[in-house]
Amino acid sequence: MNLQRYLHQRQHRIERALDRYLPKTRSPDGLEQAMRYGVFAGGKRLRPILALATCECLGSPTTPVVPFACAIEFIHAYSLIHDDLPAMDDDVLRRGKPTTHVKFGEATAILAGDALLTEAFRIMGEAAVRAGALRPVAVQALVEIAQAAGIHGMVGGQAADMAAEGTTIDLPRLEFIHVRKTGALIRAAVRTGALLGNARADQLRRLTRYADRFGLAFQVTDDILDAEAPTDVTGKTVGRDRARRKAAYPALLGLSASKDRARDLVAAALRELQPFGPAAEPLRALARFVVSRCGDT
Amino acid sequence: MNLQRYLHQRQHRIERALDRYLPKTRSPDGLEQAMRYGVFAGGKRLRPILALATCECLGSPTTPVVPFACAIEFIHAYSLIHDDLPAMDDDVLRRGKPTTHVKFGEATAILAGDALLTEAFRIMGEAAVRAGALRPVAVQALVEIAQAAGIHGMVGGQAADMAAEGTTIDLPRLEFIHVRKTGALIRAAVRTGALLGNARADQLRRLTRYADRFGLAFQVTDDILDAEAPTDVTGKTVGRDRARRKAAYPALLGLSASKDRARDLVAAALRELQPFGPAAEPLRALARFVVSRCGDT
């Protein structure tokens, strides 16, 4: 399959939906503009595409997945806005553009993040109201996304990551942080696609394992990219994580072993997809894409 | 009825539930402790009690309301934590105690707010999963709470309030801000109690009007208290809002006319409760309590 074309089409579908879900008004306080800036700062839409691709691999219609996929992207966007704040990671550049608080001020950036998180749940709630026979799995997906975004997921991971800064951590602690900070929302994206795609229990288990391996591979390659790529690729200052001694695989395992680990994780993710046949081709291509970013296809 | 006893009993019930919904763990990063600190900073639990009292006035069991009432209190607590941040209102004292960011640092305060907002929706989603026949109204309540907390409600009101700081605003603009910043969540609390109490359409309309008048009366008296009370009553620096020329009724209407306005609003709120008979006594007492705070019973 042509992954670039697939990604382009799905990105386009998600971005049209994100645009519909964002407020159209422009208020003098800049809140709506800051929300839009944070969401349209140029992401790959990996999480929403994973949700769609998972539903597709089950041969189910994807329309009910779209609001949940957009809600997950809103949550991802809010987390980046808040993580970049001066009190947190203090980043002035993301994907080569000024971060939201640099562009709109700190107060508006905090409120834009709060608003995106809140709107995410409004979108999912409204979708659940309209879901008809799918309502029980829609409410279940909302709960899983909330769990993934909260103290036992993304926010807890970010807090643990900040507490680990400047300290020496071992591999189990690093994976504890990564599983929460990025893994949980990736898992929730895949499970949302599976739940709304009416997956059987055994299919849900396999897809969840795929998601967990995918999420960890994604984080390992992100750390590798951050350690070795120039700014014009990551859009961040080179080696910024390493310079601040943030939790990172290359520092713990070395570069070569980190790449091996990413490849092994992707191979394990692919094994879980075997029973799904050709319909899982997008999920396979997405997993391969993750390691290909480091030049190790 | 004995309002003090009623408030005390309901507060106790809500605080036990809040305690159950908060994480029991204490992590090295302080996230859970900061969440607990923000929630147990000594509030009156007005919003959750309004939700319970509304359900009671319909003669319906209140147990299904409790998780939603706690979620609303989590949202209220998160909004105070974020509003107090240096980039926002920059308050170091709330209810006579150091604000969350003073006690735990700015990064942890931002994350604790994010976590409380996220957990609020997890709690409501999990309650909706268990709601059985009440599931449609439970999902509806979740949606209304999200709407009240988001860009067209609380967050939008805070953004407009910050944009108005240092400018001259008129009464319609002041009410625009108040309706969103505090009114929306009070309305959502009452409507949640009504929805989960199986209110008929006409009852829901009356209770919504009660809530809107209550919410505005609450804000007018809050502005009066802030303008004239010493710190040991409000727990904030005296006249802080006025000193920063923040949106406030006394500055626009004068103190005496502001008190008249609060009394008129409460009288209008009470008229909406007439058809509910003695079962609405707690809602009546709560409305009278709002103006009594200013010494005008």
Which candidate, A92, A25, A113, places its Cα nearest to that of B78?
Answer: A113
Residue whose token pair is 């509003």:
B83
Does pLDDT of B79 surpass 50?
Answer: yes
Residue A11: its H or E element = helix A3-21
A102 and B CB contact within 8 Å: no
Residue B66 and residue B52: Cα distance in Å, rounded?
Answer: 7
Which candidate, A30, A12, A124, places its Cα nearest to that of A74?
Answer: A124
pTM of the complete model: 0.94
Read off the pLDDT of residues B36-78 as tens digits, 9 standing for 90 and up.
Answer: 999 998 889 999 999 999 999 999 999 999 999 999 999 999 9
Q: Give the nearest chain B residue to A141 (CA atoms).
A: B125
Percent of chain A at pLDDT above 90?
76
Does pLDDT of A235 surpass 70?
Answer: no
If one compares B81 and A248, the residue with the highest pLDDT of the two is: B81
Least confident of A38-42, A227-231, B16-20, B117-121: A227-231
- At A296 the pLDDT is 46
Does pLDDT of A105 surpass 70?
Answer: yes
For chain B, domain boundaries: 3-292
Residue A283 and residue B15: Cα distance in Å, rounded?
Answer: 46
For helices B31-39 and B106-130, angle between their N-to-C axes, nearest 10 degrees: 70
Percent of chain A at pLDDT above 70?
92
If one compares A140 and B163, the residue with the highest pLDDT of the two is: A140
Closest CB to A139 among B28, B139, B146:
B139
Read off the pLDDT of residues B190-244 as tens digits, 9 standing for 90 and up.
Answer: 999 999 999 999 999 999 999 999 999 999 998 888 887 665 555 555 445 544 5
Closest CB to B125 among A27, A129, A142:
A142
Q: Which residues of B fall within a CB distance of 8 Å from A246? A: none
Residue B184 and residue B200: Cα distance in Å, rounded?
Answer: 21
Interface of B with A in 61-100 (CB under 8 A): 78, 82, 85, 87-88
- At B237 the pLDDT is 54
Does pLDDT of B107 surpass 50?
Answer: yes
Q: Does residue B97 come out as left (phi exceeding 0), alpha (psi in the -120 to 50 range) or beta?
A: beta
Tokens for B296, please give them: 């005008």
Q: Give the nearest chain B residue to A106 (CA atoms).
A: B87
Round the CA-based radius of gyration of chain B to a whole number and report it: 18
B160 and A CB contact within 8 Å: yes
Arch. (CATH architecture) of A3-292: Orthogonal Bundle (1.10)
Say if the Cβ atoms of B107 and A88 lie within 8 Å.
yes
Distance from CA of B117 to the nearest CA of A (A): 8
Read off the pLDDT of residues A172-216 as tens digits, 9 standing for 90 and up.
Answer: 999 999 999 999 999 999 999 999 999 999 999 999 999 999 999
For helices B154-164 and A106-129, angle between their N-to-C axes, nearest 10 degrees: 160
Interface of A with B in 177-206 (CB under 8 A): none
Read off the pLDDT of residues A5-60 as tens digits, 9 standing for 90 and up.
Answer: 999 999 999 999 999 999 888 777 899 999 999 999 888 999 999 999 999 999 99
Tokens for A245, please give them: 């001694």
Read off φ and ψ for residue B288, nearest 5 degrees.
Answer: -65, -35
Q: Could you tell me the pLDDT band of residue B246, with boundaries at 50, 70 and 90?
A: low
Does pLDDT of A152 surpass 50?
Answer: yes
Closest CB to B88 among A107, A119, A143:
A107
Residue whose token pair is 């979708």:
A127
- For A188-233, the DSSP string reads HHHHHHHHHTT--HHHHHHHHHHHHHHHHHHHHHHHHHHHHS-HHH
- At B19 the pLDDT is 97
Read off the pLDDT of residues A78-102 as tens digits, 9 standing for 90 and up.
Answer: 999 999 999 999 999 998 999 999 9
Residue A173 and residue A150: Cα distance in Å, rounded?
Answer: 19
Question: What's the length of chain A?
Answer: 297
Closest CB to B31 among A107, A119, A159:
A159
Contact B53, B94 (CB under 8 A): no
> B98 forms bridges with which residues in the sheet?
B93
A29 and B CB contact within 8 Å: yes
- At B229 the pLDDT is 65
Q: Could you tell me the pLDDT band of residue B15, with boundaries at 50, 70 and 90?
A: very high
- At B296 the pLDDT is 46
Query: Stretch B269-287: mean pLDDT, rounded?
Result: 97
